[in-house]
Amino acid sequence: MLRVQDCQCLEVSLCEVAYIDTSGLAVLVDVLKSARQLGKKLELSGLQERPRYLLEATGLLRFFVEAGSPCDE
């Protein structure tokens, strides 16, 4: 998806993700690195308490942009 020329921003909805482990973090970091290399933007939306805590505890949250939550829609 990031390689599609019209795609300038990829939003990853985590609305239904109540738990994430280190493998999930690794995937998010890899996608973020790919997006940045391609000059694209990656946004996380619907970040719940436990995944947010893990991102904060590892110091990774500061590297991600949080979009408004589409979970209410």
Q: What is the pLDDT of residues 44-57, one digit of tens each?
A: 999 999 999 999 99
Query: 62, exposed or middle or buried, with CB in 10 Å at 0-12, 13-18, 19+?
Result: exposed
Q: For the whole prediction, is pTM greater than 0.85?
A: no
Low-confidence ranges of the chain (pLDDT < 50): none
Write down the residue that tokens 């019209």 correspond to: 6
For residue 65 the two structure tokens come to 């942009």
Q: How many CA atoms lie within 13 A of 25 on its CB side?
A: 17
Q: pLDDT > 70: what percent of the chain?
A: 88
